[in-house]
Amino acid sequence: MKDEIVIAEALQHEVRIHAARSTDTVRAMQEAFDSSATCTAALGRVLTVTGLIASDLKQKEEHVRVRIRGGGPIGLIVAEADGDGNVRGYGDNMDLYAARADGHLDVGRVVGNTGTLQVARDMGLKEPFTGTVELASGEIGEDFARYFAISEQTPSVVSVGVLVGTDSSVLAAGGMIIQLLPGASEETISALEKLAASMRPMSEYMQEGYSAEALVTHLFDDAEILAKKPLRWHCGCSKERFSGALLTLKKEDLRDMIEEDGGAEIVCQFCRKKYQFSKEELQEILDAKTDVEHRDRND
Ligand code: ZN
Mean pLDDT of the chain: 94
Mean pLDDT of 88-112: 95
Average pLDDT, integer, range 282-298: 80
**Average pLDDT, stretch 221-242?**
95
Distance 17 CA to ligand 1 centre (A): 31
Is the pLDDT score of 195 beyond 80? yes
Question: How much distance in Å is there from the Cα of 125 to the middle of ligand 1?
Answer: 25
Angle at CA of residue 84, ends 78 and 89, nearest 5°: 15
Residues facing 66 on adjacent strands = 79, 119
Q: How far is the CA of 239 from the centre of ligand 1 (A)?
A: 10
Q: Encode pLDDT of 122-155 as tens digits.
A: 887 778 889 999 999 999 999 999 999 999 999 9
Report the C-alpha gap between 212 and 195 in whole angstroms.
Answer: 17
What's the gap in Å between 267 CA and the centre of ligand 1?
Answer: 8
Query: Rounded to an integer, what distance in angstroms lies between the CA atom of residue 242 and that of residue 123?
Result: 24
Q: How far is the CA of 242 from the centre of ligand 1 (A)?
A: 10
**Ligand 1 center from residue 80 Cα (angstroms):** 12
pTM for the whole thing? 0.92
What pLDDT does residue 127 have?
83
Beta-sheet pairing, 15-21 with 116-122: unpaired
Distance 234 CA to ligand 1 centre (A): 8
Contact 105, 98 (CB under 8 A): yes
| Predicted confidence band of residue 1 (pLDDT cuts 50, 70, 90) | confident
Residue 299 above 70 pLDDT? Answer: no
CA 208 / ligand 1 centre spacing (Å): 32
* Tens-digit pLDDT profile for residues 66-77: 999 999 999 999
Checking if the pLDDT of 291 tops 80, the result is no
Tell me how far the alpha carbon of residue 124 lies from the centroid of ligand 1, in angstroms. 22
Instruction: Please report, as a single letter, which amino acid is at residue 241.
Output: R
- Interval 12-55: pLDDT, tens: 999 999 999 999 999 999 999 999 999 999 999 999 999 999 99
Distance from residue 104's CA to the centre of ligand 1 (Å): 31
Mean pLDDT of 68-87: 97
SS3 114: coil
30-50 as b/e: b if 16+ CB within 10 A: bebbebbbbbbbbbbbbbbbb
Ligand 1 centroid – CA 243 distance (Å): 13
- What type of residue is 179? Q
